[in-house]
Amino acid sequence: MHTTADRTARISTPADRKLKITVLRGGPSAEREVSLVSGAAIAEALRRRGHDVFESDIGPDNLAALERAADVVFPALHGTFGEDGQAQRIMESRGIRFVGSGAAASAMAMDKVATKQVAVAAGIRTPAYGAVNSVAAGPRAGRREPEASRSDHGRHGGRPLPHFASPPVPVVVKPADQGSSVKTFIIRDEGGVEPAVRDVLSSFSRALVEQFIEGDELTVGILGDQALPPICIRPRQGFYDYAAKYQADDTEYVFESHPAAILRQAQEWSLLLHQRLGCRHLSRVDWICDRDGKLWMLEINTLPGFTSHSLVPKAAARVGVAFDELCERLVLMALEGD
C-alpha cells in the first residue's frame, strides 16, 4: 500500500522554468489580516523557489492585478469575495489558471448549510443545526423552523434544531458563510442564543445555530487527491478561536492522537466531502471527535490559511513536504490543469 508521502511524490517535480505568478491577498472580508499574512508567506516561498512573483491586494472594485500577465494566479484570499466563488468566477471568465477550487465548488463549500446538506447525502455525520437570516422584534423573535437538510433518521446528524430562539443548549452560533472562527460563540445558557444570533447578523447575512459537540478538534488537509495526516488541536484554554489559530503560541498540535481507525475514517470522509463538493488542489476539513469516538463534520475550507500557525502546512511537513515545496506544488497543479 502506498503512503501519502509516496502518492504526493507524483506531483513533486520542480518547475522546469521560472514562472510568473500573481499572489492575491488581503481583500474586503473579515479575514483580511489573515489573508495578508498568508499571501506574504506564499509569495516569499515561491520567490525562494526561483519564480517571478507579483503580490497584489484585490477586491471587487480593484481587479487590476488580473490584467497583469501571469502563468498562474495564487489567491491567498479568505472569506467574502476571495473564497466564496466571486473571485474564482471572474478568473474563470477570463481564462486565468489559478490555485484552488473553481467558482461553483468554492461557493458551495463557503455555505455551511449547503456543505452540511452534501455531507448528510454522503453519509457523513454533522451536528444538528438551523440557519436564520433575521430576528423579528418581540418576545417570540425568530420562532420558526430553521433551514436544515433532511437526515437519515438522525443517524448522520443534520437534524434541524427545534427553534433557534430556544434550542437545546449548548450550541455554537456563527456566521453561515465565514471562516477563521470569526464571530463564533459557544452558548451554554438559553438566554444567550438570541443575543449571539443578533451579534452575528449585525455583520453577516445569515447565522448558523449548531448543536455543540463535546470532544477533540481534528482537522484533515487535502493535497491533490490525497488526505494528509489528521491533526488534533488542543488550545490551552477555550476553543480553537481566531486568537488560538493565528496569535497563540501555546496551542498544541498532535499527530496520531486517536486510534488508527478513527483517523483513517477522518481522512476518508474528508476526501469524500472534498470530492462531492467538486473541490480541487487543496482544502481542509474540520471535525469533532466525541467521547464515543464518533466523528462530526463542522466545515470545509477551500483556501485554508498559510501562516506559521496554519494546519495544512503542518500536515504537509509531516509527510516530508516543506512549505516552499507545498506552495510550488499547488502552482504546478493549477498550471497542469489538475
Instruction: Tell me if residue 286 is catalytic.
Output: yes
Instruction: Tell me if residue 83 is catalytic.
Output: no
Q: Which listed residue (83, 84, 299, 328) is catalytic?
A: 299
The residues pairing with 283 across neighbouring beta strands, listed in sequence order, are 222
Distance, in Å, from the CA atom of 109 to the CA atom of 23, rounded to the nearest integer, reads 22
Based on the number of CB atoms within 10 Å of its own CB, is 93 exposed (0-12), middle (13-18) or buried (19 or more)? exposed
Q: Which listed residue (27, 29, 31, 194) is catalytic?
A: 31
One DSSP character per residue, 62-77 reads B-GGGGS--SEEEE--
Phi, psi of 265 (to 5 degrees): -65, -40
Q: Which listed residue (286, 310, 318, 329) is catalytic?
A: 286
Q: Which listed residue (246, 280, 318, 329) is catalytic?
A: 246
Q: Which listed residue (29, 101, 301, 310) is catalytic?
A: 301
Q: Which listed residue (35, 56, 180, 270) is catalytic?
A: 180
Query: To the nearest 5 percent, what fractions of the chain are helix, strand and coil?
Result: 35, 20, 45
The residues pairing with 226 across neighbouring beta strands, listed in sequence order, are 223
Instruction: Name the one residue in this structure whose C-alpha cell is 488550545.
Output: 235
Q: Which listed residue (125, 284, 318, 329) is catalytic?
A: 284
Element (H or E) spanning 195, and its range? helix 193-201
One DSSP character per residue, 245-267 reads HHT-S--EEEES-S-HHHHHHHH
Tell me, rounded to whole angstroms, the distance of Cα 195 from its chain centroid: 26
Distance, in Å, from the CA atom of 71 to the CA atom of 191, rounded to the nearest integer, reads 54
Asked whether the beta carbons of 300 and 273 are under 8 A apart, the reply is yes
Instruction: Tell me if residue 180 is catalytic.
Output: yes
- Per the rule left: phi > 0, alpha: psi between -120 and 50, beta: everything else, 142 is left
Based on the number of CB atoms within 10 Å of its own CB, is 202 exposed (0-12), middle (13-18) or buried (19 or more)? exposed
Instruction: Tell me if residue 276 is catalytic.
Output: no
Q: Which listed residue (26, 27, 39, 305) is catalytic?
A: 305
Instruction: Tell me if residue 155 is catalytic.
Output: no
Instruction: Tell me if residue 52 is catalytic.
Output: no
Distance, in Å, from the CA atom of 220 to the CA atom of 271, rounded to the nearest integer, reads 9
Instruction: Tell me if residue 47 is catalytic.
Output: no
Residue numbers annotated as active site: 31, 180, 246, 284, 286, 299, 301, 305
